[in-house]
């Protein structure tokens, strides 16, 4: 680009590009630049050039620096971000800059950390340790390590000794060792030998064959496999086929695997690394340090990393040779970004696959209804894995226990207690699962029914007995437990409701001989606490596990044969129309924890509604039945996925401003298009949050195009509205929660 005016995208909430004078150097589209902006300097991305500018020339500033030595963002990535920014009605510049790792948004030129691997020279190989002075201990150890391990990384050295790097420099100076600059091999090379591939069952083989028949064109697949049916093995076979094609035409292929935002990433990563020792694999998630994040991102962008495993934030990572997309647990809610650009990673990935004309595989045991709807509409191809890959493993038996008909002992039915005692006697493990929502213990006054509220949120404070504190789970506000009721002065205040803490204590009382561990957000805040706890479970040091969602995923406990589900009834009749979909997915997952090895599992669900359709479908582990019925219900009341929705969210410390803003939006959007229904602004369940008053306005249409049209007009109108800068607002397209 040699034209005099450059169009630059910047990380500012103004939905336009900014014109700058070229500094005379040749800039390319997608290149990183440094420009003056107001009183500051900002990093921007070159989006184009022009011979003219709408801004008077005297107001234009000049580009400060063009980062010539860096690779620029490719056209596909730029287009994908452009599409997403339009679809989610978010300023393009902010969307684009958010794709970059934070290091690239800083002014200092991004330096890739130099790293080396160290080897012995020929002289070093024949060097005898006896020639060393007795006091040169570190030197001796480094040499010894080199002679046994062929090469060492910087990381190896630092674990060897704090001064090992110095010793290595001595060895290099003496000509005994040499350093090879090699980013890629640094911490990624695995010394494992090729493992024996596990045999595929017929369904797995069919899935692999089918997908590979269409591996060179855009084909969305739903891989529907129950827990333990071997979805991951199917992914790995596909990756292998894409990275190592028989007709070596694709030698530069890359694969992106998206996973939910939970701590199973390290396990999955290890499994993939072990399977593909010859391919550079990198991960991208929020727990990486900034420098690792940059390094991994650059390795993906350069094409050196062949496999990228990442959470939602890696959706837009540039990958020049991307040949296949895999979305594991595609129904997981963590794929939806809940702030800034509120994109859905699965849907963006779908668009990415379409534009690249490559296959995309959505894997799940309990697909989202949206995906199921697309399967039924023949938009996605359907593949089922109905057998557990370990053939000896059996499905658990699922029973409901009617809590309305029996006497409860502190929340427990006699049946569940009996089942727990049986496992204790048999030295098997049990899991007590509860849905956190609404069943945390609150502080209740026995005289006037006062319940301790949060002053900043419309929620109740949760009792934490061990810390003797009340805490808000939304804003982390804390206070001491009051000695008497602030409303009537009654000193008799007690915790009510079944929190996990109370559950743990109750169980300890009822089953004093049991060794109990509680796993939830409070008990696992310490680093490694979760890992320690899981290890204790594996070592049979725990009889009963008590916990929330965290337990439902990814952990395999061979000796666990009973799952008790405490109380989930509020989700059955929740005002949130997705609550039952989530509950079903959760219970399917937690049921999968029971009896994974050769021991048959049992699941006991305590409920007042044992004949609810959801439990019927669960008993037979029949997702298809459940999904069809649920879809039918959504169709009757015209809910997603039968209509497309968008939610204009707004909040401010002053409620009247929120409403004024939303009323203005309503007036503008209402009756703008006959196919789009606009609802009056209303307050959400959580009307107040962190001291902010909230409200929102729903827009809905059976036509995505019509809805987009109204959203576009409304958002651009709102951007110039005087209240837009006083109210915090966001357009949430395809919202998950209302």
Partner DNA sequence: AGCACGCCGACT
Partner DNA sequence: GTCGGCGTGCTC
> What does the binding site for DNA look like in residue numbers (CB under 7 A)?
12-14, 16, 18-20, 35-40, 53, 55, 59-61, 725, 728
Residue (of 202, 270, 200, 282) closest to 241 by Cα position: 200
Q: How far apart are CA 514 and CA 66, in angstroms?
A: 66
Q: Please give the backbone phi and psi of residue 270, each rounded to the nearest 5 degrees, phi first.
A: -60, -40
Q: How far apart are CA 472 and CA 390, in angstroms?
A: 44
Measured from the CB atom, the residue of 10 and 307 that comes closer to DNA is: 10
Question: What is the smallest separation between the CB atom of 665 and DNA, expressed in angstroms?
Answer: 16
Question: What is the smallest separation between the CB atom of 83 and DNA, expressed in angstroms?
Answer: 23
Question: What is the smallest separation between the CB atom of 476 and DNA, expressed in angstroms?
Answer: 22
Question: What is the smallest separation between the CB atom of 721 and DNA, expressed in angstroms?
Answer: 12
Q: Residues 126, 119: contact at Cβ < 8 Å? A: no
Alpha-carbon Rg for the chain in angstroms: 29
* Axis-axis angle for helices 655-669, 704-719 (nearest 10): 130
**Tokens 């009749």, residue?**
573
Measured from the CB atom, the residue of 482 and 691 that comes closer to DNA is: 691
Measured from the CB atom, the residue of 5 and 626 that comes closer to DNA is: 5
Question: What is the smallest separation between the CB atom of 124 and DNA, expressed in angstroms?
Answer: 53
Question: What is the smallest separation between the CB atom of 472 and DNA, expressed in angstroms?
Answer: 23
Q: Residues 35, 76: contact at Cβ < 8 Å? A: no
Measured from the CB atom, the residue of 64 and 212 that comes closer to DNA is: 64
Measured from the CB atom, the residue of 519 and 648 that comes closer to DNA is: 648
Question: What is the smallest separation between the CB atom of 56 and DNA, expressed in angstroms?
Answer: 9
Measured from the CB atom, the residue of 14 and 667 that comes closer to DNA is: 14
Q: Residues 229, 388: contact at Cβ < 8 Å? A: yes
Question: What is the smallest separation between the CB atom of 12 and DNA, expressed in angstroms?
Answer: 5
DSSP-based three-state secondary structure for 267 = helix
Each as own residue / partner, the long-range contacts of residues 702-708 (CB below 8 Å, 24 or more positions apart, any chain) are 702/642, 702/643, 702/644, 702/675, 703/644, 703/675, 703/676, 704/644, 706/673, 706/675, 706/676, 707/644, 707/645, 707/646, 707/676, 708/87
Question: What is the smallest separation between the CB atom of 348 and DNA, expressed in angstroms?
Answer: 23
Paired residues of 66 in beta bridges: 33
Q: Residues 44, 66: contact at Cβ < 8 Å? A: no
Measured from the CB atom, the residue of 10 and 324 that comes closer to DNA is: 10
Measured from the CB atom, the residue of 515 and 728 that comes closer to DNA is: 728
Q: How far apart are CA 705 and CA 349, in angstroms?
A: 20
Measured from the CB atom, the residue of 39 and 134 that comes closer to DNA is: 39
Measured from the CB atom, the residue of 38 and 195 that comes closer to DNA is: 38
Query: What's the token pair of residue 141?
Result: 């150890």
Question: What is the smallest separation between the CB atom of 10 and DNA, expressed in angstroms?
Answer: 8
Concatenate the DSSP letters of all residues of 74-143 into one string: PHHHHHHHHHHHHHTT--HHHHHHTTS-GGGGSSSPPPPPP-EEEEE-HHHHT--GGGS-TT-HHHHHHH
Question: What is the smallest separation between the CB atom of 315 and DNA, expressed in angstroms?
Answer: 23
Question: What is the smallest separation between the CB atom of 696 and DNA, expressed in angstroms?
Answer: 18
Measured from the CB atom, the residue of 37 and 67 that comes closer to DNA is: 37
Each as own residue / partner, the long-range contacts of residues 284-292 (CB below 8 Å, 24 or more positions apart, any chain) are 284/308, 284/309, 284/310, 284/311, 284/313, 284/314, 284/317, 285/261, 285/310, 285/311, 285/313, 285/314, 286/261, 286/311, 286/313, 290/101, 290/102, 290/103, 291/103, 291/113
Q: How far apart are CA 190 and CA 175, in angstroms?
A: 27
Concatenate the DSSP letters of all residues of 683-704 into one string: --SS-EETTEEEEEEEEEES-H
Each as own residue / partner, the long-range contacts of residues 82-86 (CB below 8 Å, 24 or more positions apart, any chain) are 83/351, 84/316, 84/341, 84/343, 84/348, 84/351, 85/341, 86/712
Question: What is the smallest separation between the CB atom of 658 and DNA, expressed in angstroms?
Answer: 14
Q: How far apart are CA 201 and CA 188, in angstroms?
A: 31
Measured from the CB atom, the residue of 91 and 499 that comes closer to DNA is: 91
**Containing H/E element for 1?**
none
Q: Residues 103, 291: contact at Cβ < 8 Å? A: yes
Region for 510 from its dihedrals, namely left if φ exceeds 0, alpha if ψ lies in -120 to 50, beta otherwise: alpha
Question: What is the smallest separation between the CB atom of 274 and DNA, expressed in angstroms?
Answer: 42
Measured from the CB atom, the residue of 61 and 712 that comes closer to DNA is: 61
Measured from the CB atom, the residue of 22 and 371 that comes closer to DNA is: 22
DSSP state, residue 550: G
Q: Quick one: how far is CA 602 from the chain centroid?
A: 30
Give me the sign of the Cα torsion angle 201, 203, 204, 205: positive
Q: How far apart are CA 662 and CA 731, in angstroms?
A: 12
Residue (of 735, 736, 672, 679) closest to 706 by Cα position: 672
DSSP-based three-state secondary structure for 215 = coil
Question: What is the smallest separation between the CB atom of 40 and DNA, expressed in angstroms?
Answer: 5
Question: What is the smallest separation between the CB atom of 389 and DNA, expressed in angstroms?
Answer: 49
Measured from the CB atom, the residue of 37 and 218 that comes closer to DNA is: 37
Measured from the CB atom, the residue of 90 and 666 that comes closer to DNA is: 90
């Amino acid at each position: 680009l040699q034209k005099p005016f450059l169009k630059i995208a910047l990380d500012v909430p103004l939905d336009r590009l900014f014109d700058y004078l070229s500094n005379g150097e040749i800039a390319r589209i997608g290149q990183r630049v440094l420009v003056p902006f107001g009183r500051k300097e900002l990093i921007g991305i070159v989006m184009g050039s022009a011979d003219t500018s709408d801004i008077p020339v005297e107001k234009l500033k000049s580009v400060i620096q063009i980062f010539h030595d860096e690779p620029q963002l490719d056209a596909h990535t730029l287009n994908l971000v452009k599409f997403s920014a339009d679809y989610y009605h978010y300023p393009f510049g902010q969307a684009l800059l958010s794709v970059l790792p934070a290091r690239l948004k800083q002014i200092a030129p991004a330096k890739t950390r130099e790293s080396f691997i160290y080897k012995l020279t020929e002289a070093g190989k024949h060097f005898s340790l006896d020639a060393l002075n007795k006091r040169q201990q570190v030197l001796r150890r480094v040499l010894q390590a080199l002679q046994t391990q062929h090469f060492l990384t910087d990381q190896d050295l630092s674990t060897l000794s704090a001064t090992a790097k110095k010793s290595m420099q001595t060895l290099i100076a003496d000509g005994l060792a040499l350093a090879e600059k090699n980013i890629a091999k640094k911490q990624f090379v695995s010394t494992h030998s090729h493992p024996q591939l596990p045999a595929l069952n017929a369904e797995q083989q069919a899935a692999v064959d089918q997908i590979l028949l269409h591996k060179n064109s855009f084909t969305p697949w739903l891989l529907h496999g129950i827990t333990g049916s071997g979805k991951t093995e199917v992914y790995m076979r596909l990756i292998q086929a894409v990275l190592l094609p028989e007709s070596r035409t694709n030698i530069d292929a890359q694969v992106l695997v998206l996973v939910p935002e939970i701590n199973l990433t390290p396990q999955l990563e290890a499994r993939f690394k072990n399977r593909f020792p010859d391919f550079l694999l990198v991960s991208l998630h929020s727990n990486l340090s900034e420098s690792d994040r940059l390094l991994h991102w650059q390795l993906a962008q350069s094409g050196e990393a062949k496999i990228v495993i990442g959470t939602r934030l890696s959706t837009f990572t540039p990958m020049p040779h991307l040949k296949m997309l895999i979305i594991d647990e595609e129904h997981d809610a963590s794929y939806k970004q809940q702030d800034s650009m509120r994109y859905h990673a699965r849907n963006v990935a779908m668009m990415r696959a379409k534009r690249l004309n490559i296959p995309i595989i959505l894997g799940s045991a309990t697909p989202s209804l949206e995906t199921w709807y697309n399967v039924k509409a023949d938009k996605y191809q359907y593949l089922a894995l109905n057998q557990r890959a370990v053939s000896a493993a059996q499905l658990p038996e699922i029973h409901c226990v009617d809590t309305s008909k029996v006497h409860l002992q502190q929340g427990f039915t006699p049946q569940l207690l009996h089942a727990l005692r049986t496992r204790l006697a048999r030295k098997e493990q049990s899991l007590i699962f509860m849905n956190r929502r609404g069943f945390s213990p609150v502080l209740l006054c026995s005289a006037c029914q006062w319940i301790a509220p949060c002053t900043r949120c419309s929620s109740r404070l949760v009792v934490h007995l061990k810390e003797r504190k009340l805490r808000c789970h939304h804003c982390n506000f804390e206070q001491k437990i009051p000695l008497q009721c602030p409303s009537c002065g009654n000193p008799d205040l007690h915790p009510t409701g079944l929190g996990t803490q109370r559950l743990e204590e109750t169980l300890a009382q009822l089953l004093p001989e049991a060794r109990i561990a509680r796993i939830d957000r409070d008990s696992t805040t310490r680093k490694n606490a979760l890992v320690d706890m899981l290890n204790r479970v594996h070592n049979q040091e725990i009889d009963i596990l008590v916990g929330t969602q965290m337990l439902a995923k990814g952990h395999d406990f061979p000796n666990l044969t009973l799952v008790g589900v405490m109380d989930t009834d509020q989700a059955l009749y929740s005002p949130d129309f997705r609550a039952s979909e989530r509950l079903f997915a959760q219970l399917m997952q937690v049921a999968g924890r029971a009896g994974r090895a050769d021991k048959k599992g049992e699941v006991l669900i305590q409920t007042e509604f044992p004949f609810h359709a959801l439990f019927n479908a669960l008993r037979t582990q029949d997702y298809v039945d459940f999904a069809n019925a649920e879809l039918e219900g959504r169709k009757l009341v015209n809910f997603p996925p039968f209509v497309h929705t968008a939610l204009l969210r707004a909040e401010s410390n002053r409620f009247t401003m929120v409403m004024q803003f939303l009323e203005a939006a309503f007036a503008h959007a209402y009756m703008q298009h006959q196919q789009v229904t606009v609802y009056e602004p209303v307050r959400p369940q959580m009307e107040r949050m962190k001291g902010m008053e909230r409200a929102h306005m729903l827009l809905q249409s059976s036509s995505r195009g019509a809805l987009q049209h109204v959203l576009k007009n409304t958002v651009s109108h709102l951007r110039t509205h005087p209240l837009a800068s006083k109210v915090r607002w966001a357009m949430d397209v395809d919202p998950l929660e209302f």
